[in-house]
Chain A
Amino acid sequence: MKLTRRQFVVGTAAGAVGAAGIYELVDQFSGGSPQRAAGAVKLPEQHLLEGVRVVRDDGVEVLVPPLHHQILTARVAVDRSELANARVELERELAGLDDDYAPSPAGLGVTVAWGRPYFDRFVPAAARRLLPLDRRAGKPVLIDAERFPSDPEDTRLEQNHVAFLLRSDARDHIEDAAKRIRGTKLFDVTSVRRGFAGGGFDGEQSLPKQMAEAAQIPGADLIPETAELFLGFTSTQRAGMGPGGIANFETLGYVDLRGSDYFRHGTHMHLSHIHEDVEAWYLNFDFDERVATAFRPNLDVKQGTQTVRQGPQDVSSEADVRRDFHSSGRIGHSAPIQTTSRLLADHVGEDGTVFVKGTAIPVRADFNTLDNPFAWSERSDEVGVLPAAGVHFVVFNPTGDDFRRNRLAMDGHLPGGTIPFPPRGREQGFNSVLSTTHRQNFIVPPRRHRSFPLSEV
């Protein structure tokens, strides 16, 4: 097979560092695992990590995400009659991982999320009775993923039974977990998705910058040296991430738990893969336009700033978005999403936690990737030869409809009416440089029911 210049260079560079390929470079670039707090409490939620470091960047508090990420998607490989044993066996493996690794970036975060095909095929009666309902939408919290107005027509809506999200600063922790999960023989893996995040906050060259350059991604040399993500802006501002259990089913009152505690401490997860045109972002958008696109128009930010404040006092209302649109013809990215993703009033959770107006609801866990679009897939057309810049977008919301509202707002579909844009218009936030390839929704049960949920009911 003939290789192109990029294939040749990338292939050899990856080969030079070992069979694990380009992702092994993450360890080399990051110098291995950073110092983190060791111990961590095992929370009833699967989707929350303890021991996450907080740093200040450009005067803003930022959460430092785990360095390494991997997602396995799979089909259940056993019959309904074997579910009871399967549940015990998987839980034994997961409990073993809990015993061996603290649920923190220094250890290992394991989140097991189940798709609608699992509930429909294996536990339909129990699901009808116990799957939580979204009070606002009048639907189950788990709804099928859809193509949004700015999505390409060929965005694949996936039908996986289950997804395992593995997060750690140590790649060998993730590899160990993946091996142990696969070793149960309970699943037929449908895809493997890998990526990385973080670096750069202490002044060193960031991982996305280094990885993009190593892979010779078009536009890699335009990424700022310390950028947290390929597109140059920090996205893990503490105030921009849903705090604690805010995305839990039970916290905000969006969800009817059907008179049962079965799914208390659970949440909803959306998973998608998005290609990013890094070169177009830096060669067609000047800094001010990048700020206006990533955040909101008319935002005064010092040239070269990477971390922009996103606290409750910086939140845009729908009126703000419409006013900005009338003055500039643009809506940005963060601003329209904030019209649906932030609390409109103070809220007291059922455990007494006070969430102030403007607090973010979604708990994001997205990470950059060089998968094109996946590191491995059972479908040959889902594994490109060349690396490609992108993001595996992972977000936890109280319901599928809550995610849907946020994603529609990103396209200008605001609660009070739609601002019309051409599909993927440049004035519509990031959309002109993003291209979504895959989407699926999942339920993340609480830790106690993470293994084949409802199979014991």
Chain B
Amino acid sequence: MRGLLATGLVLCACAALAAGCGEARKADAAPAAKPKPTCAYRAGWQKLADKVRVPVYCPGWLPDPLTSQIGGRWNNINSVSKDRSWLESFVWQETGGGAAGGELHVNLRGYPGRTAIPTCRTGGSDSRDVACFRDPGQTFSANGITARLYRVNEDADTWHALLLWRKGGTLYTLSEHVAPPLTFDHVVRYLKRELASLELIRPA
């Protein structure tokens, strides 16, 4: 898998010089050309929806090699708090140098029964309470969801670009780490593709 990604990056770099980044073009064009992807690991997400007693969103697409399998090899955080807020984190990390190295990290969150942006405590010597998601920017609509992009985020979403939306009295977020091999703009393209692939899983 690492080899595939590395090869893809080099190809992308080549293409960027001649005719634009093929990977990026594919990301933008894919939703219109193909049938909407669906949740490949429904069982885990259904279990989550049942536990938090509100609908949850399962991504039908994540950047390779990530999959949306809760409990799978890339799912490093599977957390439900007492207030039923939940966090599913999927991460791939390779510490090798050059094109082989990098990180892909996607977080999905839900805050059942609340629509206000939560408060986070910053670290460091000037630790203080701040909104967990800040610097709102443009909005994107896909898949019946209109989400706003937030650029400065805290805790597990630090250094992530984040999409935020509300539905049925619940606040949802989808974020991805801005880290090599991805630039911020590339992450936003990925987020838009992930947003378009979300499948709503209702509690049974």
Instruction: Considering the complex, give the chain A residue whose CB is closest to the CB of B102.
Output: A5
Q: SS class of chain B's interface: helix, strand, loop or mixed?
A: mixed
Any A CB within 8 A of the CB of B81 = no
Residues of B within 8 A of A2 (CB): 98
Q: Assess whether A4 is in contact with B184, with CB atoms less than 8 Å apart.
A: no
A13-B9 Cα distance, complex, nearest whole Å: 16
Any B CB within 8 A of the CB of A329 = yes
Contact with B along A377-408 (1 / 0, CB 8 A): 00000000000000000000000000000000
Residues of A within 8 A of B158 (CB): 284
Residue from A3, A4, A216, A285 in contact with B183 in the complex, judged by beta carbons closer than 8 Å? A216
A window 196-232: CB within 8 A of B:
216, 218-222
Q: Assess whether B98 is in contact with A425, with CB atoms less than 8 Å apart.
A: no
Contact with B along A2-37 (1 / 0, CB 8 A): 111110110011001000000000000000000000
A window 278-301: CB within 8 A of B:
279, 282-287, 289
Residues of A within 8 A of B180 (CB): 5-6, 218
A window 259-295: CB within 8 A of B:
279, 282-287, 289
Any A CB within 8 A of the CB of B95 = no
B window 77-114: CB within 8 A of A:
97-99
A425-B123 Cα distance, complex, nearest whole Å: 12
Instruction: Considering the complex, give the chain B residue whose CB is closest to the CB of A428.
Output: B126
Any A CB within 8 A of the CB of B17 = yes
A2-B10 Cα distance, complex, nearest whole Å: 12
Residues of B within 8 A of A426 (CB): 124-126
Instruction: Considering the complex, give the chain A residue whose CB is closest to the CB of B134.
Output: A286
B window 114-134: CB within 8 A of A:
124-126, 128, 134
A278-B192 Cα distance, complex, nearest whole Å: 24
Q: Assess whether B124 is in contact with A222, with CB atoms less than 8 Å apart.
A: no
Q: How many residues of A contact B (CB 8 A)?
A: 31
Any B CB within 8 A of the CB of A416 = no
A208-B10 Cα distance, complex, nearest whole Å: 26
Q: Assess whether B184 is in contact with A425, with CB atoms less than 8 Å apart.
A: no
Residue from A4, A5, A287, A422 in contact with B125 in the complex, judged by beta carbons closer than 8 Å? A422
Q: Assess whether B184 is in contact with A5, with CB atoms less than 8 Å apart.
A: no
Any A CB within 8 A of the CB of B74 = no
Interface size class of B (residues with CB under 8 A): 20 to 34
Query: Given the interface contacts A4-B97, A283-B152, A426-B124, does A12 sit within 8 Å of B183 by beta carbon?
Result: no
A221-B151 Cα distance, complex, nearest whole Å: 12
Residues of B within 8 A of A4 (CB): 97-99
A282-B97 Cα distance, complex, nearest whole Å: 25
Query: Given the interface contacts A5-B99, A221-B183, A427-B125, does A284 sit within 8 Å of B159 by beta carbon?
Result: yes
A window 130-165: CB within 8 A of B:
none
Residue from A5, A16, A219, A284 in contact with B10 in the complex, judged by beta carbons closer than 8 Å? A5
Q: Assess whether A5 is in contact with B181, with CB atoms less than 8 Å apart.
A: yes
Residues of B within 8 A of A285 (CB): 152
Any A CB within 8 A of the CB of B16 = yes
Residues of A within 8 A of B9 (CB): 5
Any A CB within 8 A of the CB of B164 = no
Any A CB within 8 A of the CB of B178 = yes
Any A CB within 8 A of the CB of B43 = no
A284-B99 Cα distance, complex, nearest whole Å: 26
Q: Assess whether A427 is in contact with B184, with CB atoms less than 8 Å apart.
A: no
Residues of A within 8 A of B13 (CB): 5, 8-9
Query: Given the interface contacts A5-B10, A286-B152, A425-B125, does A221 sit within 8 Å of B98 by beta carbon?
Result: no
Residue from A5, A286, A422 in contact with B135 in the complex, judged by beta carbons closer than 8 Å? A286
Instruction: Give the residue among A9, A218, A285 with the most B Cβ atoms within 10 A.
Output: A9
Q: Assess whether A16 is in contact with B17, with CB atoms less than 8 Å apart.
A: yes
Residues of A within 8 A of B28 (CB): none
Any B CB within 8 A of the CB of A193 = no
Q: Assess whether B159 is in contact with A427, with CB atoms less than 8 Å apart.
A: no
- Some 15 contacts from A to B, beta carbons below 8 A apart, are A5-B9, A5-B13, A218-B180, A222-B184, A279-B184, A282-B184, A283-B152, A284-B152, A284-B158, A286-B134, A286-B135, A329-B126, A329-B128, A425-B124, A427-B125
What 8 pairs across the A-B complex have the smallest Cβ distances? Answer: A286-B135, A286-B134, A4-B98, A221-B185, A286-B152, A427-B126, A5-B99, A221-B184
B interface residues (Cβ-Cβ under 8 A, vs A): 9-10, 13, 16-17, 97-99, 124-126, 128, 134-135, 151-152, 158-159, 178, 180-181, 183-185
A interface residues (Cβ-Cβ under 8 A, vs B): 2-6, 8-9, 12-13, 16, 216, 218-222, 279, 282-287, 289, 329-330, 421-422, 425-427
